[in-house]
Structure 1
Amino acid sequence: MESTVFNITERTEKGRKVRMKGEIPGIIYGHSLDKTIPCKITNRELINLLGVKSSVLSLNLNGKTESCVLKEVQRDPFGNIVHLDFQQVKEGDSVKLKVPVKFIGIESLDSRKLLLDDIIAEVQLQGHPNEMPEHIEVDVTNLEHGAQILGKDLAIPANLKADISADDVVARIGSLISVAVESDETEEETAQ
């Protein structure tokens, strides 16, 4: 489990009032909790928390350390974080987490005038929180025009279950030239 402990405090005020004070509201929930716990975190602690590589976080709430996973980060239309949802986890718990798909080698596609059309940006995985990867890496360096990346091509650890089927299209490789031709044709049709 993650060794860094992040300080959060229980809150009684509404989320809007918390945000006006420059803090971020959140909640902690879990099977072993009697009820959902409203909480808040300072911006400094949030920045540190978001920089952690582990999926399991240690939160100090009222002098007691809780092991949690960050289930959801809610943002406003401008991208500012407005609310956090934490799920408490105990040893042996199984959780569902959305893990981003990270494409590497895009520079190689760019140099060959190819375009990556990523259809699925994240995959929901279920399993023990300590076994969750930070992201699922896909190398697109040597792919050619028309290639597809399917669910079965993702390197998902065997001990985790994914909500994606083997035939789901994760991404396609297209050509910048064909995109330009299609947009020119669309403009001509609109002008007529």
Structure 2
Amino acid sequence: MSTALTTNKRTKGQHSALTKLRQQGAIPGVVYGYQVESTPISIDAKKFAKALSDNGSNGVFQLELDGKKVNAVLSEVQRDALKGFVKHIDFQVINMSEDLEVNVPVITTGDSVGVAEGGLLLQPTREITIKVKPNAIPEAVEVDVTNLAIGSSLTVGDIRSQQTYDILNADEEVLVTVAAPAVEEEEPAEVEETTEEAEE
């Protein structure tokens, strides 16, 4: 866990007040959760960016709030649709001894034998929900597709026993599959006949 992020209390104000905060290099946000009242805050944008880089989006952040340090996770990060900068953040204070339900991305590793034979790798489920202690939240769940042939799939049930945390998704939910290559349709025979007639 990185150095504690200092939060500053702010008064809930108008849109112009939030814009001014952002122009001053701060991000408006809210802290709520375990043993704290919902509190509007602002936080230094550069320090938050560094903490996000160090911890990852699923990591635990240490915040200085009202003179005490609390552990929190990101429950929501709002970004500007055009420029991509963070415009608002929600922190949820947590009890480190209790399990959390969090969404984590699914990423594939290895080179599928089915893809090598011309198949197409499809990933219908890109995120799963897990229940885990806060200090053991993975940044992502890795799924090895090396032995996945054309027509084969990997489901949640296939990877459940390999994990150290509870997966809340159903066993039959498909994570990755390799589809058969598309078959090119042959030119209709009547096209050739039309061409021959034109030549006559």
User: TM-score, normalised to structure 1's length?
Assistant: 0.77
1:135 is displaced (CA, Å) by 1.2
1:83 is matched with which residue? Answer: 88
Match of 1:63 among 63, 67, 86: 67
1:30 is matched with which residue? Answer: 33
1:113 is displaced (CA, Å) by 3.9
CA distance in 2, matches of 1:181, 1:26: 54
CA distance in 2, matches of 1:97, 1:9: 27
Structure 1 unaligned spans of 5+: 183-192
CA distance in 2, matches of 1:3, 1:130: 13
Aligned ranges for residues 1-192 of structure 1 at < 5 Å?
2-14=1-13, 15-33=18-36, 35-53=37-55, 55-78=59-82, 79-105=84-110, 112-154=117-159, 157-158=163-164, 160-175=165-180, 177-178=181-182, 181=184
CA distance in 2, matches of 1:22, 1:64: 24
The letter for the 2-side match of 1:12 is T
Structure 1 residues 140, 10: CA separation in 2 closer, same or farther (over 3 Å shift)?
same
CA distance in 2, matches of 1:136, 1:38: 33
Deviations 1:153-192 (A, max 9, x none): 235634x3322011111122225x42x859xxxxxxxxxx
User: TM-score, normalised to structure 2's length?
Assistant: 0.74
Structure 2 unaligned spans of 5+: 186-200
Deviations 1:118-157 (A, max 9, x none): 1111111123211222211111123222221201123563
Name the count of aligned residue pairs: 177
Deviations 1:1-55 (A, max 9, x none): x25322232222544443343322221111311x211122222112212112472
CA contact (8 A) 2:96 2:135 kept: no
CA distance in 2, matches of 1:29, 1:5: 17
CA contact (8 A) 2:26 2:43 kept: yes
